[in-house]
Structure 1
Amino acid sequence: MRVPLSLSEFLHRAADLTLVPSAAIARDLQEAKVTSANKIRLWNKGVDSESFHPRYRSHEMRLRLSNGEPEKPLIIHVGRVGVEKSLDFLKSVMDRLPEARIAFIGDGPYREELEKLFRGMPAVFTGMLQGEELSEAYASGDVFVMPSESETLGLVVLEAMSSGIPVVGARAGGIPDIIPAEQEGKTGFLFTPGDTEDCMRKLVPLLENKELRETIGKAAREEMENYDWKAATKTIRNEQYEAAIWFWRKKRAEALGPLQWLTERLFPSPAINFR
């Protein structure tokens, strides 16, 4: 839902600092000119690196997600099942991977239609999972695929990487902030949104090469330790809060400047003779 620009302008201009979860949103705010560019800061929210951990990998959960075929390559997706998530794109991917299995973890208004789309295919729909079941679902897959072009942050991408499995995600929204260009092929892979061929080029090697999956998954896990809540909170306290204070002091000095000038002229300080 878009906030009316007038309200957005008021909120951002009243703030001393605006924190955004992705560079894409920062660009939107700059283009809308709701606040000055130097008052916008990127703050990637944290991930619970203890709850989402490779140790939760479970044979029983993998049996469930693969519909009893745990030896088959297993693709997973976690998130709201909505039409805006571009989940129908995964149908074209699975059409080219007859040996693979896919599991959708989550629920939403598009689920019934998506189930019809995947009817007769090796797809499992678990509905909502929480707690340890969700942790096991993440860690028990082989590759996490994120086709959505509308992710502002991509929390599920953070959770998948924290769980130690490789991510293949659309190069859109906040996902490139999690897997930047210099990390592509090291902590995860990005593909051109809607481009099945590009997605397959990144996905197939991971499904076919266990050693590559483990290498990327381990690197992803190590990278996510920089995104845990302790690190995220430290950034807020030590960097962003200090920046907000600086802008507040600057704004206060600018506001009080004219009043101070007038006061000095109306009530000049008496000259002091030290002799």
Structure 2
Amino acid sequence: MRIAFFSETFLPQTNGIVTRLCHTLSELKARYADRVLLVAPEMPGLPTHYDGISVLGVPSVDLPFYRGFRFGLPWLHTRAGAALEQFAPEIIHAVNPASGIGLLALHYAARYRVPLVASFNTDLPGYVRHYGLSVLEEPLWQYLRWIHSQAALNLCPSRPVQERLNARGIHNVALWRSGVDTALFHPQHFSCGWREKLTNGDPDVTIILSVGRLAAEKGLDKLISTLPQLAGCHLAIVGDGPAAEQLRQQANGLPITFLGTLQGEDLATAYASADIFAQPSTTETFGFVTLEAMASGLPVVAARRGGSLDLVLEGETGLLFEPDQPQALERAVRYLAEHRRERKQMGNAARLYIEGSEWSWRTATAELHRSYEQVLAKAKTGSSDEALPPLQHDADSQKHSLPFAR
């Protein structure tokens, strides 16, 4: 099977979509001998290959209000367009098709009668509210309905999101399961030295850990605001993003450490060396960092919204709080900070839950591959209308472009 992924983000960026893509690409290549190709926005550090898989760059621009994100434009350079046509994909998978890359995937699939799979991975309508752009929320939903209505199959990462998409008029939605490396993210990576690092030399306090992109939609400002009321606690924040400087200013004088981006064993050790994991975001469609924290034996405090509802077992592996209720986040964190035995029990239960469930990339990719096979089988029994003409070639700009993207 030849599968072309069109994604709005990839390495060197670090986020849930990139984590999912890296594991999925490797699994598809290794276990199914599939030929795979990835189309992603051009940016400094974008690899030309990942695990032997070709990566084609699409022209992109910076978003001025969101540092570090590149918005892919709906055309390919001539060489990349030729490589895509030579690859001749049998399946197009548009990952979070909200940018110009999503339009490119849609256009290519329609012109060549290639089945389209689309996945909803980021709550973009939820994001716009955090940037004072609520007026765009409904138009964005209309746009997403239009894109997803043209897919043979839509995928999303959690049941709450599946229900929300259905309520918003996006149908034919299945779950795209996720995985976690339970050998890497494991309580055995606990380190006294890392407790020193997480707290700037105060390892005996209760360590609250947050991991993720430092952005307005993640709700870290609310978490930081709880620290003055949480005596004996220290907040360690892992990650970077457009709100980093603003959050550092808010944290001035508080027991808070910013560690920047961590990966691999350093990240796993940070998880295992903390006491509580806090996820204040209300826009998580899944929550890979929550899954990693649970695998590391941490109890979780998370907003009662989105993907966290699929992960956190209330009172067993952590606590869910109502984000609309003042002091709810503080009360949940305070309870775990003050009840050492209960938080240890919840942390152990979180690890056991991950071990006893099918949170493996092998299982997740096997289900995804079966979905591809079903889409292909359905396409082969569908109409045999004459194919549309190929993508237009803009000789002047040396790009393969969409007619409406010039």
Give the TM-score, by structure 2 length. Answer: 0.55
Match of 1:216, SS state, is helix
Closer, same or farther: CA 197–6 of 1 in aligned 2, 3 Å: closer
Match of 2:220, SS state, is coil
Closer, same or farther: CA 235–224 of 1 in aligned 2, 3 Å: farther
| Distance in 1 separating the partners of 2:275 and 2:326 | 19
Amino acid at match of 1:209: H
Kindly indicate whether residue 208 of structure 2 is the aligned counterpart of residue 208 of structure 1.
Answer: no
Check conservation: 1:147, 1:170, Cα contact below 8 A. yes
Check conservation: 2:186, 2:297, Cα contact below 8 A. yes
Closer, same or farther: CA 4–193 of 1 in aligned 2, 3 Å: closer
User: C-alpha displacement at 1:12, in angstroms?
Assistant: 3.4
Q: List alignment gaps of at least 5 residues for structure 1.
A: 257-275
User: C-alpha displacement at 1:214, in angstroms?
Assistant: 1.9
Q: 1:27 aligns with which of 133, 141, 163?
A: 163
User: C-alpha displacement at 1:5, in angstroms?
Assistant: 6.3
Larger radius of gyration: 1
Q: Which residue of 1 aligns with 2:349?
A: 219
Check conservation: 1:147, 1:194, Cα contact below 8 A. no
Spell out, residue by residue over 1:55-97, the C-alpha distance to the aligned partner (whole angstroms, 9 max, x if none): 1111111111111111111101001111111111013311211
Kindly indicate whether residue 302 of structure 2 is the aligned counterpart of residue 169 of structure 1.
Answer: yes
Match of 1:88, SS state, is helix
| Distance in 1 separating the partners of 2:326 and 2:272 | 25
Check conservation: 2:280, 2:329, Cα contact below 8 A. no
Match of 1:65, SS state, is helix
Closer, same or farther: CA 244–185 of 1 in aligned 2, 3 Å: farther
Spell out, residue by residue over 1:205-244, the C-alpha distance to the aligned partner (whole angstroms, 9 max, x if none): 3212332222111111122233121332344356x45764
Higher relative contact order (CA 8 A, sep 6+): 1
Q: Which has the higher strand share?
A: 2
C-alpha root-mean-square deviation of aligned residues, in Å? 2.5
Kindly indicate whether residue 176 of structure 2 is the aligned counterpart of residue 43 of structure 1.
Answer: yes
| Distance in 2 separating the partners of 1:129 and 1:95 | 26
Closer, same or farther: CA 10–197 of 1 in aligned 2, 3 Å: closer
Closer, same or farther: CA 195–18 of 1 in aligned 2, 3 Å: same
Check conservation: 1:17, 1:40, Cα contact below 8 A. yes
| Distance in 2 separating the partners of 1:84 and 1:9 | 22
User: C-alpha displacement at 1:200, in angstroms?
Assistant: 3.3
User: Superposed, which structure 2 residues align to 1:166-245 within 5 Å?
Assistant: 166-179=299-312, 183-225=313-355, 226-237=358-369, 240=371, 244=375
Q: Which residue of 2 aligns with 1:129?
A: 262
User: C-alpha displacement at 1:201, in angstroms?
Assistant: 3.3
Task: Extract structure 1 runs of 4+ deviating beyond 3 A.
Answer: 1-16, 234-238, 240-246
| Distance in 1 separating the partners of 2:140 and 2:331 | 41
Give the TM-score, by structure 1 length. Answer: 0.79
| Distance in 2 separating the partners of 1:194 and 1:102 | 22
| Distance in 2 separating the partners of 1:31 and 1:144 | 31
Check conservation: 2:223, 2:329, Cα contact below 8 A. no
Check conservation: 2:285, 2:307, Cα contact below 8 A. yes
Closer, same or farther: CA 212–6 of 1 in aligned 2, 3 Å: closer
Kindly indicate whether residue 381 of structure 2 is the aligned counterpart of residue 252 of structure 1.
Answer: yes
Spell out, residue by residue over 1:176-197, the C-alpha distance to the aligned partner (whole angstroms, 9 max, x if none): 1212xxx211122110014343
Match of 1:189, SS state, is strand
Match of 2:381, SS state, is helix
Amino acid at match of 2:341: E
Check conservation: 2:207, 2:274, Cα contact below 8 A. yes
Q: How many residues align?
A: 246
Check conservation: 1:72, 1:99, Cα contact below 8 A. yes
Q: Which residue of 2 aligns with 1:270?
A: none
User: C-alpha displacement at 1:54, in angstroms?
Assistant: 0.8
